Chains A and B, each alone.
Chain A
Amino acid sequence: MRPAFVRSWSERIYGFLLRLYPAAFRRQAGPDLLEFFRDQIHAVRGRRFGVARLWLRALPDLFTSAFLERWTALRAPVCAPVARLASRPGDSAMNVFLLELRYALRLLRQAPMFTLVAGLVVALGIGAVTTIFSAANGLAFRPLPGAGAPDRLVEIHRTLASPLRAEAPGAGRKRSRTRNALVIGQISLSLLLLVAAGLFLRALDRGQRVDPGFDAAQVATASFDTRTYGYGEERARQFYADLRTRLAGRPGVEAVSYARVLPLSGNRTGDEFRVDGAAAGPGVEGDGAEVMLFAEVDVDYFAALHMPLLSGRGFAATDGPKAAGVVIVNETLARRFFPGGGALGRTIHRGKDPPHHRRGRPRCEGGVSFREC
């Protein structure tokens, strides 16, 4: 058996190509991906064109998943500052476009390898399309060179069976039938696209009129992942604290907060929770263990989003990592487990572990109005 440290050329190339993935993904899954590829090579060894076939499968997967992973890394915030502003100046479409453009350029600068590959792919694509169009234009759509009246050119050919027939009868009809079919197809496709666009517009209009239970007007958000900048936990904490102070000190800013997941962003985190002393209300089974979705947020989150607290208190600066856990539940949960009221001060256990394994048992300290949507 060959020792693992002797790597084949394929493995080396695959290892190099793993750089296409974002750094965070590579750190976590890189060794596993390489191990996976090594297993695959081992499995196809001895087969005819085995390694070549493996590359044909592995390369598209690598490019696609690396692209998607980079895209997801851009879209999914690890920590999003939420700031409520008295007014947001310069929110014109042009301003937003320029901001996005600057953001995109900054991201591209941070990932030179990705930029290079993406640029090459686009360049290749443009080159190929230009070549094909030029060839088609030169060969099919231009008049023949040297012909004075190209529309009067005719093609005469003779076959042995029918010496005098230049063209089979009905050929012209067949051609026009094909043309009609093409036109009908084009019109149907256009109509389909038009209807789809109309439906999208209606959905967008409806989506904008949904009441999500919070007030997103005049709220500015940004998202970033300090890990991609190589920040350790301590440095990241310091950065978040500094950013909060700097943002809060700006004129016009009413409240600043952080959230791991923004509401209605499509990201979700869930776990099993058990509520102590839950009344056996409708839908509460057994020991009251339920799968619930949660979000980790910072002080002033509810103030920034204008979500009213119905009772209890919001998160405070003293609720740090060393303090006892605190949780704020929504109205639906409070009503479900405690139909008669009295959710405040109750304890919630996360997961199946016995409570004493947890550092601090989160106690319900507040209720917040958050309508189901």
Chain B
Amino acid sequence: MPPEAPFQPLKPVDLILLPALAEGDRHGYALSQEVERRTEGAVRLEAGNLYRTLRRLQGEGLVGEAGRRPIGEEVTERRNYFRITPLGLQAAQAEVKRLRALIASPAAKALGRRAEPI
């Protein structure tokens, strides 16, 4: 593993969550909605799965907590917001770069040509 890319390859779900967080801090439910919107319903993250992934990303230093914020005026409970860390952003960018290079490789291009309808 080269020293400049210790988090590569990222898991597919990480590469969906990290860009969704890069746009701004989000709480769990908003994050899952955003993921569903971005993937056009193909990926649907349920609560348990999502929070397990977020906890792992927190442990790896890719995601941090942005604190709790109140839900509304009448409601006293608070929501936990998540924020991407600079390290997380860097890891996601590096992964996108790696995948781009992979797709741009001659072998991948040849495969793309073969897959085209005749």
A residues lining the B interface (CB < 8 Å): 1, 3-5, 21, 25, 28-29, 31-33, 35-37, 39-40, 57-58, 61-62, 64-66, 68-69, 72, 268-272, 283, 290-293, 332-333, 336, 351-352, 372
Please give, as numbers and ranges, the residues of chain A lying within 8 Å of B28 by CB-CB distance.
32-33, 35-36
Say whether A1 contacts B74, CB under 8 Å. yes
Say whether B61 contacts A4, CB under 8 Å. no
Say whether A32 contacts B60, CB under 8 Å. no
Please give, as numbers and ranges, the residues of chain B lying within 8 Å of A28 by CB-CB distance.
55
Say whether A269 contacts B48, CB under 8 Å. no
Please give, as numbers and ranges, the residues of chain B lying within 8 Å of A64 by CB-CB distance.
48-49
- The minimal Cβ–Cβ distance linking A327 to chain B, given in whole angstroms, is 16
**B41 contacts chain A at the CB level, 8 A cutoff:** no
A-B contact pairs, 12 of them (CB 8 A): A1-B72, A4-B77, A32-B80, A33-B47, A35-B29, A35-B77, A57-B44, A61-B49, A64-B49, A72-B52, A272-B90, A336-B3
Question: Which of B5, B52, B54 has most A Cβ within 10 Å?
Answer: B52
Say whether B49 contacts A29, CB under 8 Å. no
- The minimal Cβ–Cβ distance linking B99 to chain A, given in whole angstroms, is 18
Please give, as numbers and ranges, the residues of chain A lying within 8 Å of B44 by CB-CB distance.
57
Please give, as numbers and ranges, the residues of chain B lying within 8 Å of A58 by CB-CB distance.
46-47
**B87 contacts chain A at the CB level, 8 A cutoff:** yes
Please give, as numbers and ranges, the residues of chain A lying within 8 Å of B61 by CB-CB distance.
269-271
Say whether B79 contacts A32, CB under 8 Å. yes
Q: How far is the CA of A4 from the CA of B76 in the complex (A)?
A: 8
Please give, as numbers and ranges, the residues of chain B lying within 8 Å of A36 by CB-CB distance.
28-29, 32, 47, 50-51
Q: How far is the CA of A61 from the CA of B28 in the complex (A)?
A: 15
Q: How far is the CA of A336 from the CA of B3 in the complex (A)?
A: 10
Q: DSSP majority for the B interface?
A: mixed
**B75 contacts chain A at the CB level, 8 A cutoff:** yes
**B71 contacts chain A at the CB level, 8 A cutoff:** yes
**B17 contacts chain A at the CB level, 8 A cutoff:** no
- The interface bits of chain B over 52-64 (1 if a CB of A lies within 8 angstroms of the residue's CB, else 0) are 1011000111000
Q: Which positions 1-53 of chain B face chain A at CB distance < 8 Å?
A: 1, 3-7, 27-29, 32, 44, 46-52
7 closest residue pairs by CB, A with B: A65-B48, A61-B46, A39-B29, A36-B47, A29-B51, A4-B75, A61-B48
**B92 contacts chain A at the CB level, 8 A cutoff:** no
Please give, as numbers and ranges, the residues of chain B lying within 8 Å of A1 by CB-CB distance.
72, 74
Say whether A290 contacts B47, CB under 8 Å. no
Q: Say which residue of A32, A40, A271, A293 sits within 8 Å of B51 (CB atoms).
A: A32
Please give, as numbers and ranges, the residues of chain A lying within 8 Å of B80 by CB-CB distance.
31-32
Say whether A332 contacts B29, CB under 8 Å. no
**B86 contacts chain A at the CB level, 8 A cutoff:** yes
Please give, as numbers and ranges, the residues of chain B lying within 8 Å of A290 by CB-CB distance.
3-4
- The minimal Cβ–Cβ distance linking B36 to chain A, given in whole angstroms, is 11
**B84 contacts chain A at the CB level, 8 A cutoff:** no
Q: Say which residue of B47, B52, B75 sits within 8 Å of A69 (CB atoms).
A: B52
Q: Which residue of A lies closest to B72 (CB)?
A: A1
- The minimal Cβ–Cβ distance linking A46 to chain B, given in whole angstroms, is 18
Say whether A291 contacts B7, CB under 8 Å. yes
Say whether B6 contacts A293, CB under 8 Å. yes
Say whether B6 contacts A268, CB under 8 Å. yes
Please give, as numbers and ranges, the residues of chain A lying within 8 Å of B7 by CB-CB distance.
270, 291
Known A21-B48, A36-B50; 14 more pairs at CB < 8 Å: A1-B72, A4-B76, A5-B76, A28-B55, A29-B55, A32-B80, A35-B27, A35-B71, A40-B29, A65-B52, A69-B52, A270-B61, A332-B3, A352-B86
Say whether A65 contacts B49, CB under 8 Å. yes
Please give, as numbers and ranges, the residues of chain B lying within 8 Å of A271 by CB-CB distance.
61, 87
